[in-house]
Structure 1
Amino acid sequence: MSDFNISVIILQYLCLLFSLSVHEASHAAMANYWGDPTARLMGRMTLNPVKHIDVMGTVVLPLIAMFSNIPLFGWAKPVPFNPRNLTNRKQGPVWIALAGPGSNLMMILLAAIVLRALAAMLNVLPESPALMMFIQAFFFLALINSILMLFNLIPLPPLDGHHVLEYFLSPEAQKKFESLGPFSLIILFILVFQVGILNMPMKMMMVAVHYLAFFGTPLF
């Protein structure tokens, strides 16, 4: 494997670690805001990736993906919260759930803004390895956060989207919905890898990022 490929793999993995850390720390910060300090007391309200690492989701699976030439993907340890501590037990879980994908959206927008600035620099400065590395890094950041945001918004447990959906369900419907829990991973696998439920949203997200950052002109 060439030095270039190794550097790209390392860059992608660092972007994933940072994105997962921001995602989980945002959950913890929102839970703390709504009155539950559980995650904060466990040291989860931090950008230190060590606090959020899940061996399978943060180490094994991403490394397999990167060296198998498949889309980079992973997850971190879920951030726990105690609903009994929340100042609003109905709305609190929804805002805590949305904090993760919301942080991903903010990073996508930030990456697009930085990419636009870097792309403009290409017009006035000679192309350099350092400049191209920064462009790659923020492109990967936008891509990875798009995947994380869309995946986590799928309304199935244990993903963030299921807390949002439950807010709109009646108590009876919530019980029926929770009964899907044991089968959720199988359903997720079918929806994501067989049906390709995220394919079109991902294409739309990346088109939007390209237009925000490069005025519709892809660099990669």
Structure 2
Amino acid sequence: MTSASPHPEHHRISPVFLGLVAIMAVSGWAVWYGWADVTGVSVFFFVVAGWIVSLCLHEYAHARSALGAGDVSVGAKGYLTLNPLRYTHALLSIVLPVVFVILGGIGLPGGAVYIERGRITGRWKHSLISVSGPATNALFAGVLTAPFWLHGVHDVPVAFRCALAFLALLQVTAALLNLLPVPGLDGYGVIEPWLSPAARRQAEPFAPFGILIVFGCLWIPQVNAVFWDVIDTILRGMGVSELETYLGLEYFRFWQGEPQNVLLP
């Protein structure tokens, strides 16, 4: 029987990740209590820290699934420590997703753990590794929206309520975009093991440009409208209104001024 990892430090949670969780907790506390009249700044740090935490969990889910499927190399690579600095493409996994949140309010899929697929046998295992990341985003969205679908949101301060809604929107967009069957995204990783070798060879050159292709399509007004209709429908099913996500984005962009006299039902 092969040991998953002989080194405990390969599985020890990174101080960097714990620091991100601490920033999320402290800024969330500041949003809840409206600390120092800088609610927008607090929302900004809460959302950014929460978003990076979710990216770490997304990548950890890929790595943990790969470990269970037979790729023991993920431990030595540091993927199980939840440290975003250990990812093979920190720019793609952390920096660009955060920039897209700031500029466009959309959850950009980031993926940068290198799985040694040759160590893994069985098509179902490969599909499970790919789907585990978006599933983590979906689960995180469910946790964030719990006050909404449990009908306890009226006891939550407006700014915190809207911050949760906006962070949940990012999770839903990341999950949905990542599940698209486009080369380079997790959705394609789910179906790739079931494709013929010829089909895989034809799709392989497009993998580095998959996310660019998706965002290029989102510039098409008709596609963009359908995409956001789907996102809004999913969020409404979780009890989150379009107004709450919009106000969350407005709080997040504190440099444009915070919403005034906000009244929510």
TM range (shorter): 0.7 to 0.9
Partner SS state of residue 165, structure 2:
helix
Letter in 1 for 2:123: K
Residue number among 90, 104, 110 corresponding to 2:143 in the alignment: 110
1:64 Cα deviation from its structure 2 partner = 6.5
Instruction: Give per-residue Cα distances to partners, 1:141-170, cap 9 Å, x unaligned.
Output: 311111111111222232112212323322
CA offset at residue 199 of structure 1? 4.5
Residues 74 and 80 in structure 2, CA contact (< 8 A), matched pair in contact too = yes
1:84 maps to: 118
In 1, are the aligned partners of 2:123 and 2:194 still within 8 Å (CA)?
no
- % of aligned pairs identical? 23
C-alpha distance in 2, partners of 1:149/1:194?
Answer: 21
2:100–2:108 Cα contact (<8 Å) kept: no
1:23 aligns with 2:64: no
**Which of 127, 130, 133 is matched with 1:94 structurally?**
127
Give the Å deviation of 1:197.
4.2
Q: Structure 2 unaligned segments of length 5 or more: list them.
A: 1-36, 248-265
CA distance in 1, matches of 2:41, 2:58: 26
Please give the alpha-carbon distance, in whole angstroms, between the structure 2 residues aligned to 1:154 and 1:93: 16
Matches of 2:141 and 2:191, distance apart in 1: 24
* Of 108-117 and 98-107, the range deviating more from structure 2: 108-117
Distance 1:89 1:211, change over 3 A: closer
Q: How does 1:143-154 map to 2 (within 5 A)?
A: 143-154=169-180
Tell me how far apart the structure 1 counterparts of residues 230 and 109 of structure 2 sit (CA, whole Å): 23
Render the CA deviation track for 1:7-33: whole Å, top value 9, x for unaligned.
332222112111111111100111011
Equivalent residues of 2:84, 2:90 under 8 A apart:
no
Q: CA deviation at 1:120?
A: 2.4
TM-score with structure 1 setting the length: 0.77
Residue 138 to residue 51, structure 1, CA distance change in 2 (3 Å): farther
Q: Give the residue type in structure 2 aligned to 1:29.
A: R
Shift of 1:207: 2.7
State how far apart, in whole Å, the 1-side matches of 2:205 and 2:127 are: 20
Q: Could you tell me which residue of structure 2 aligns to residue 58 of structure 1?
A: 94
CA distance in 2, matches of 1:109, 1:173: 35
Q: CA deviation at 1:91?
A: 2.4
- Alignment partner, residue 35 of structure 1: 70
Q: 1:209 to 1:121 in 2, by over 3 A?
A: closer
Measured after TM superposition, the shift of residue 110 of structure 1 is 1.9
Within 5 Å, which residues of 2 pair with 1:1-220?
3-52=38-87, 54-55=90-91, 58-59=94-95, 62-63=98-99, 65-66=101-102, 68=103, 70-76=104-110, 78-86=112-120, 88-117=121-150, 120=152, 122=154, 125=155, 131-181=157-207, 184=210, 186-194=212-220, 197=223, 199-213=225-239, 218-219=243-244, 220=247
Higher alpha-carbon deviation: 156-165 or 142-151: 156-165
Q: Which moved more, 1:186-195 or 1:10-19?
A: 186-195
Amino acid at match of 1:79: V
Alignment: residue pair count:
208
Q: Deviations over 1:59-96 (max 9, x none)?
A: 35624652x4x22444545111112211x242222111
Asked if structure 2 preserves the Cα contact closer than 8 Å seen for 1:19 and 1:141, the reply is: no
The one-letter amino acid paired with 1:81 is I
Give the gaps of 5 or more residues in structure 1: none
Secondary structure of the 1:103 match is helix
AA paired with 2:152? A
Over 3 Å counting, the alpha-carbon distance change for 1:183 and 1:28 in structure 2 is: closer
**Cα 1:34/1:182, change in 2 over 3 Å:** closer
Gap change, CA 1:171 and 1:60, over 3 Å in 2: closer
